[in-house]
């Protein structure tokens, strides 16, 4: 097909022939290092990085003609879609990226970030050496000194204040294995004060969804959305946050002539491709969802059979929904009843229909309730548990799903076992350490079983008086590995915490805003920056949003003194004296724990979530055989020798031991498949009966099940009752007998032999039981979701009827939301700050953005922090497009200087800021606060310097999606 393009010839040149003869040595790692050092342009380069004035910097790693190319595969680190990255490596240098055609998830595609990840590794803005703040100046130090000093300081704090005074902030950017080790280190240190980004992105999803039907994860997959006839995206902008997902969504839209409805306060780039756009007021999701259900119940569009068989408590919902007739919904949300009726009818009748959401629903004081209402809408219409349906929750970081599952979270040990004594015992068995040893590491048994402090509140836990924090002492040290500070709300408040800490350690590929803000807050000492590898410089597995687990190879070795997460954790564990116990069953080579071994240990303990079948060997076979998986079903042909019958990435739950070859679960809760084909019922997680009503499924069961009705989760007792215990092998029985004094209580999730799961599956049943989903979650503050006004609302008239929940102690710290809401009304905040401020993502950047703003290919595309404002609001204030404005916030006299983008994308009275910027504070450029040469190309004000108080009662999720602000021309 392709022909050589040589026939047309322009004039030849003397120069060319001359230069062609210059012998060119291939670039080896040495040359590469030299070049990457030289390419540092410093501030001078920044100055010249303006339109047009360009010096062509010598390419750091151009392709090397004639040198052999090695292809390596890893996973993009910028969102949870899970795109495969194919790297061309020559002489140990990453010289090019090729499309990953074989991946069923991205099929060669990337977004701006994925197409430029090579530059992340090469960026000359990275931390190259460990740095230490001495008298307000950054100095280079060595790893040994840094770890020793950090460890000593931690032990000192532990002596004086107890283990809970050290906070372990981990990352959704860890691999599963890194997450697991970090979680394990916190356990061995003796605290539950360990958390990661899921707190501020989908913690409310996890709590809300898991409390509805068992697991808090995306039910289906991106690929499966191709089957949908109706998609509602409510509170999400995947065109910018998850661009590759749009490939599946838009193709689905075309193939099925699907309805593509976007419900959002902002006319997003996703909305531009919708077939119906619904604009609601920020923070009124429940009213809109109930408004839709009102029409559904009114017209009898609900799926009565589905509700009868698989849902508990829908009648109580019906009663609540009656309180939301169209006029009330319009009064609250601004959405007209006719439009909502149209959308409701589509969702209920043009099936399969899926509801997709992101942080537009989760990041609210009512986040958990929002998400629950969304699940209930799916349940009422029977839109869950089938292809093309489901609650498709798009997660944000490459491994935020994995890090959540692995329990890098204040409320649980790995895989949602919780913090109960039984949970600790389970993990003590897996780790082969004694429970008593673990207990001794904690201040008390009580605190060992008490959830820790969520990362949204770290600075409150640092700066509040000691007696207001429910642990021995306040938080005195932060160990931050891979988490931005500017993605947490209330930056002005966090400044207090930054200056008060006795120790601040940031282990990251970049200094991040922790560095620039800490220096700004007046910090001069006791702060360390440890250079860490990107995921491309190490290996390990990561979980995409659809629960598929993919193994990433190491593409290149780190260029300078960067160490990977495993090495950092191992060194610290050594220093803290817990390495021997922690790595008892994990091989360590050259001071680097072997990730394959870490994964095997996870497999041995991850029964509750079906993380037991995904051995490193199986995962690697999947990466090797990517091309064999079907685009829509994600399944490989059954006769394939290596991956036969598997679903791509063995999406969890993948039951039993790897040898059982469970194929993974592509769509959760789908009873139309056999359990060994990935079928499953709703999880019987909430008991068997409530108020005389059964909580087990009625007349619904997975295909080929020997039990043709609901059943509880499997324990030895149940197994015995059915007589299936005879199927256990002697070996399995031996393991089970060792587990507890009461063998009957050993369950599918604590049985380390995997025998119970194996036997249950062989009978076509599901280990976790066959229950009903809960429309009413009686253990939550709002068992039935109800609309509650945001803390800072422009609609003060609605607060009396829809107030936020009362103040309460949550997660060891007070949640004063009610008091703050009342005070705001008394002070007339809504008059002085009349504009709603909401925040969101840009396609070019991710998270706190320091990493992506250090990538020159991306930084060029978004060079300035901005605020979107409606033309009407801009006119009133004399603001012109592209002009500077001051944004002032409702708390702490906060202010930010940004460029105005005047656009109808936001409605009147609404403003929007992207949350990826940092490195400015209240109009001041903090570039000088970074260690030399590590400042990102682009800096700007953080949206979170304006965001305000507000925490979800269930997870202490922050509220960056609705607050109030005022804007004036600068």
| Interface positions, 91-120, toward another protein (CB under 8 A) | 96-97, 99, 107-116, 118-119
- Give the per-residue SS3 of 567-595: HHHHHHHHHHCCHHHHCCCCCEECCEECH
Say which DSSP state 282 is in. T
Closer to another protein by CB, 106 or 362: give it: 106
SS3 163: helix
What is the Cα–Cα distance from 680 to 457, expressed in whole angstroms? 37
Nearer to another protein by Cβ, of 7 and 691: the residue is 7
Bridge-based pairing state of the strands 910-914 and 835-840? parallel
Task: Decide whether 251 or 449 has the Cβ nearer to another protein.
Answer: 251
In the block, residue with structure tokens 């969804």:
209
Among 50, 691, 741, 893, binds another protein (CB under 8 A): 50
Pick from 599, 858, 890, 938 the residue near another protein by CB under 8 A.
858
SS3 of 35, please? helix
Q: Give the pair of three-digit tokens for residue 429.
A: 């068995």
- Does position 40 interact with another protein (CB under 8 A)? The reply is no
**Is residue 730 part of the contact set for another protein (CB under 8 A)?**
no
Q: Which stretch binds another protein (CB under 8 A): 6-14, 132-140, 382-390, 540-548?
A: 6-14
Least distance to another protein from the beta carbon of 334, Å? 8
From 294-302, 536-544, 856-864, 951-959, span contacting another protein (CB under 8 A): 856-864
DSSP state of 943: G
Residue 486's nearest CA partner among 448, 517, 526 is 517
Residue 83: CB minimum distance to another protein, A: 9
Residues 91, 339, 425, 762: which binds another protein (CB under 8 A)?
339
How many beta carbons lie within 10 A of that of residue 639, not counting itself? Answer: 7
Contact between 855 and 120 (Cβ < 8 Å): yes
Residue closer to another protein (CB basis): 37 or 96: 96
Under the binding rule (CB under 8 A), the answer on residue 878 touching another protein is: no
Enumerate residues 65-84 that contact another protein by CB under 8 A: 65
Options 129, 143, 435, 857; binder of another protein; rule CB under 8 A: 857
Q: Which of 744, 881, 924, 932 binds another protein (CB under 8 A)?
A: 881
Give the span between the Cα atoms of 946 and 895, in whole angstroms. 6
Choose which of 744, 904, 924, 932 interacts with another protein (CB under 8 A): 904
Among positions 275-314, residues that touch another protein (CB under 8 A) are 275-279
User: Which range binds another protein by CB under 8 A, 2-10, 143-151, 770-778, 822-830?
Assistant: 2-10
Task: Indicate the residue among 239 and 650 with the shorter CB distance to another protein.
Answer: 239
Minimum distance, C-beta of residue 666 to another protein, in the bound complex (Å): 22
Instruction: Give the footprint of another protein on residues 444-483 (CB under 8 A).
Output: none
Residue number with CB closer to another protein (48 or 708): 48
Least separation, in Å, of the C-beta of 118 and another protein? 6
- Based on the number of CB atoms within 10 Å of its own CB, is 318 exposed (0-12), middle (13-18) or buried (19 or more)? middle
Closest by CA position to 61, among listed 85, 86, 97? 97
For residue 559, the SS3 value is: coil
Under the criterion CB under 8 A, does residue 53 sit at the interface with another protein? Answer: yes
Q: Does 879 bind another protein (CB under 8 A)?
A: no
Under rule CB under 8 A, which residues in 574-603 are in contact with another protein? none
* Residue 336 sits in the site that holds another protein (CB under 8 A): yes
* Burial annotation 878-911 (CB, 10 A radius, 16+ → b, else e): ebeeeeebbbbbbbeebbbbbbbbbbebbbeebb
Q: Out of 193, 270, 389, 541, which residue is the one contacting another protein (CB under 8 A)?
A: 270
Report which of 594, 592, 585, 641 is spatially closest to residue 618, judged by C-alpha positions: 641
Q: Which is nearer to another protein, 101 or 778 (CB)?
A: 101
* Minimum gap (Å) between residue 270 Cβ and another protein: 8
Contact, 93 vs 27, CB < 8 A? yes
Candidate list 309, 550, 625, 862; residue touching another protein; CB under 8 A: 862
Stretch that binds another protein, among 485-493, 802-810, 879-887, 924-932 (CB under 8 A): 879-887
Which residues 369-398 are close enough to bind another protein by CB under 8 A?
A: none
**Distance of CA 534 to CAs 117, 132, 590, Å?**
10, 21, 19
As measured in angstroms, the least distance from the Cβ of 955 to another protein is 30
Q: Is the dihedral of CA 702, 706, 712, 717 positive or negative?
A: negative
Q: Which is nearer to another protein, 739 or 869 (CB)?
A: 869
Closer residue to another protein in complex, CB, 104/817? 104
Q: Nearest 10 degrees: CA dihedral of 551, 555, 560, 563? A: 10
Residues 6 or more apart in contact with residue 739 via CB below 8 angstroms:
429, 746, 750, 751, 752
Helix (H) or strand (E) holding 955, with range, is: none
The residue (of 95 and 670) whose beta carbon lies closer to another protein is 95
What is the closest distance, in whole angstroms, from the C-beta atom of residue 535 to another protein in the complex?
18
Instruction: Return the residue of 28, 33, 37, 63 that touches another protein, per CB under 8 A.
Output: 63
Residue choice 202, 351, 856, 897 for contact with another protein (CB under 8 A): 856
Residue numbers 118-177 binding another protein by CB under 8 A: 118-119
Q: How far is the CB of 76 from another protein (least distance, A)?
A: 11
CB of residue 880 vs another protein: minimum separation in angstroms? 8
Residues 905-944 contacting another protein, CB under 8 A: 905-908
Please give, one letter per residue, the 3-state secondary structure of 823-887.
Answer: HHHHHCHHHHCCEEEEEECCCCCCCCCCCHHHCHHHHCCCCCCEEEECHHHHHHCCCCCCCEEEE
CB closer to another protein, 340 vs 643: 340
Question: Which residue number, 76 or 775, has a Cβ lying nearer to another protein?
Answer: 76
**Number of CB atoms found within 10 A of residue 174's CB:** 33
Shortest distance in whole angstroms from residue 14 CB to another protein: 7
- For residue 653, cis peptide bond before it (omega within 30 degrees of 0): yes
Judged by CB under 8 A, the number of residues near another protein is 98
Residue 197: partners with Cβ closer than 8 Å, 6 or more residues away? 171, 172, 396, 397, 400, 403, 483, 487, 847
Termini Cα distance of the chain: 58
Question: Measured from the CB atom, is 690 or 905 closer to another protein?
Answer: 905
Peptide bond between residue 396 and the one before it cis (omega within 30 degrees of 0)? no
Residues 230-259 touching another protein, rule: CB under 8 A, are: 239-240, 243-244, 246-247, 250-251, 253-255, 257
Q: Would you state the torsion angle of the CA atoms of residues 542, 620, 546, 88, taken in this order, to the nearest 10 degrees?
A: 70
DSSP 8-class letter at 537: G
- In the complex, the smallest distance separating the C-beta of residue 722 from another protein, rounded to whole angstroms, is 50
**Contacts of another protein in 834-853 (CB under 8 A):** 843-844
The answer to whether 784 and 323 are in contact (CB under 8 A) is: no
Closest contact distance (angstroms) between CB of 312 and another protein is 35
Phi-psi region of 935 (alpha: psi -120 to 50; beta: other; left: phi over 0): beta
* 7 touches another protein by CB under 8 A: yes
- Residue 381 CB, shortest distance to another protein, in Å, is 22
Q: Using CB under 8 A, which of the segments 53-61, 586-594, 656-664, 694-702 binds another protein?
A: 53-61
């Amino acid at each position: 097909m392709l022909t050589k393009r040589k026939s047309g010839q322009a004039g030849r040149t003397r120069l060319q022939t001359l230069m062609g003869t210059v012998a060119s040595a291939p670039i080896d790692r040495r040359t590469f290092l030299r070049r990457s050092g030289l390419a540092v342009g410093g501030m001078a380069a920044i100055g010249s990085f303006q339109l047009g004035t360009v010096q062509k910097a010598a390419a750091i790693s151009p392709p090397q003609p004639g040198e052999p190319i090695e292809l390596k595969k890893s996973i993009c680190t910028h969102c949870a879609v899970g795109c495969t990255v194919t790297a061309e490596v020559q002489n140990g240098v990453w010289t090019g990226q090729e499309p990953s055609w074989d991946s069923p998830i991205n099929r060669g595609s990337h977004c701006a970030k994925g197409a430029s990840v090579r530059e992340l590794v090469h960026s000359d803005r990275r931390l190259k050496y460990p740095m230490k703040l001495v008298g307000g100046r950054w100095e280079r130090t060595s790893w040994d000194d840094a770890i020793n000093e950090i460890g000593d300081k931690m032990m000192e704090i532990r002596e004086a204040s107890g283990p809970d005074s050290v906070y372990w902030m981990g990352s959704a950017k860890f691999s599963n294995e890194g997450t697991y080790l970090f979680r394990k280190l916190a356990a061995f240190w003796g605290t539950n004060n360990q958390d990661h980004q899921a707190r501020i992105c989908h913690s409310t999803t996890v709590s809300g969804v898991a409390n509805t039907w068992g697991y808090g994860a995306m039910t289906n997959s991106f690929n499966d959305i191709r089957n949908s006839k109706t998609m509602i995206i409510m509170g999400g902008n995947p065109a910018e946050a998850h661009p590759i997902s749009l490939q599946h969504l838009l193709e689905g839209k075309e193939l099925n002539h699907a309805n593509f409805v976007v419900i959002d306060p902002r006319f997003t780039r996703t909305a531009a491709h919708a077939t119906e756009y619904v604009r609601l007021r920020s923070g009124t999701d429940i009213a809109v969802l109930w408004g839709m259900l009102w029409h559904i119940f009114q017209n009898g569009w609900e799926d009565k059979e589905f509700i009868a068989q698989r849902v508990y408590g829908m009648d109580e919902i019906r009663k609540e929904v009656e309180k939301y007739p169209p006029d009330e919904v319009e009064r609250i949300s601004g959405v007209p009843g006719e439009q909502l009726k149209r959308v409701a009818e589509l969702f209920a009748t043009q099936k399969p229909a899926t509801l997709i959401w992101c942080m537009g629903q989760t990041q609210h004081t009512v986040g958990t309730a929002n998400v629950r209402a969304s699940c209930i809408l799916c349940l009422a219409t029977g839109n869950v548990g089938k292809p093309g349906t489901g609650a498709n929750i798009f997660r944000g970081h490459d491994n935020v799903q994995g890090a959540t599952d692995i329990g890098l979270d204040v409320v649980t040990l790995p895989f949602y076992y919780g913090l109960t004594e039984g949970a600790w015992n389970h993990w003590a068995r897996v780790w082969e350490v004694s429970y008593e040893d673990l207990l001794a590491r904690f201040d008390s048994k009580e605190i060992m079983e008490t959830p820790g402090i969520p990362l949204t509140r770290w600075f409150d836990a640092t700066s509040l008086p000691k007696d207001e924090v429910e642990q021995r002492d306040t938080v005195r040290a932060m160990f931050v590995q891979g988490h931005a500070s500017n993605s947490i709300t209330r930056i002005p408040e966090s400044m207090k915490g930054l200056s008060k800490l006795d120790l601040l350690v940031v282990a990251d590929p970049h200094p991040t805003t922790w560095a620039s803000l800490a220096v700004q807050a007046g910090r001069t000492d006791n702060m360390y920056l440890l250079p860490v590898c990107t995921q491309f410089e190490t290996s390990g597995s990561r979980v995409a949003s659809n629960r598929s687990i993919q193994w990433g190879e190491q593409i290149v070795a780190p260029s300078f003194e960067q160490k990977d997460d495993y090495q950092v954790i191992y060194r610290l564990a050594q220093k803290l004296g817990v390495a021997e116990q922690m790595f008892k069953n994990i091989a360590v080579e050259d001071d680097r724990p072997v990730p394959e071994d870490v994964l095997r240990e996870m497999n041995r303990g991850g029964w509750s979530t079906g993380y037991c079948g995904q051995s490193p060997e199986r995962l690697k076979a999947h990466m090797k055989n990517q091309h064999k998986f079907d685009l829509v079903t994600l399944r490989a042909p059954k006769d394939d020798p290596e991956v036969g019958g598997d679903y791509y990435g063995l999406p969890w739950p993948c039951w039993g031991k790897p040898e059982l070859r469970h194929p993974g679960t592509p769509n959760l809760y789908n009873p139309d498949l056999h359990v060994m084909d990935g079928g499953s019922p709703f999880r019987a997680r909430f008991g068997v009966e409530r108020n005389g009503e059964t909580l087990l499924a009625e007349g619904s069961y997975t295909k080929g099940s020997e039990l043709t009705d609901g059943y509880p989760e499997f324990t030895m007792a149940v197994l015995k009752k059915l007589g299936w215990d005879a199927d256990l092998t002697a070996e399995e029985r031996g393991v089970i007998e060792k587990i507890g004094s009461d063998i009957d209580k050993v369950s599918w999730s604590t049985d380390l032999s995997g025998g119970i799961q194996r036997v249950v599956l062989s009978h076509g049943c599901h280990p976790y039981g066959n229950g009903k989903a809960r429309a009413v979650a009686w253990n939550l503050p709002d068992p039935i979701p109800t609309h509650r006004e945001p803390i800072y609302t422009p609609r003060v008239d609605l607060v009396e009827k829809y107030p936020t929940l009362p103040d309460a102690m949550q997660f060891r710290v007070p949640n004063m939301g009610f008091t703050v809401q009342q005070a705001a009304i008394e002070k007339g905040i809504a008059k002085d700050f009349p504009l709603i401020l909401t925040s969101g993502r840009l396609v070019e950047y991710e998270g706190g953005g320091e990493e992506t703003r250090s990538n020159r290919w991306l930084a060029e595309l978004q060079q300035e922090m901005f605020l979107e404002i409606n033309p009407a609001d801009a006119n009133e204030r004399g603001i012109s497009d592209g002009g500077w404005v001051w944004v002032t916030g409702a708390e702490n006299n906060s202010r930010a200087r940004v460029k105005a983008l005047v656009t109808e994308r936001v409605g009147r009275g609404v403003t929007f800021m992207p949350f990826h910027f940092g490195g400015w504070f209240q109009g001041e450029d903090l570039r000088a606060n970074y260690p030399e040469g590590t400042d990102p190309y682009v800096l700007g004000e953080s949206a979170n310097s304006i965001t305000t108080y507000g925490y979800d009662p269930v997870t202490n999720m922050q509220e960056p999606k609705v607050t109030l602000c005022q804007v004036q021309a600068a």
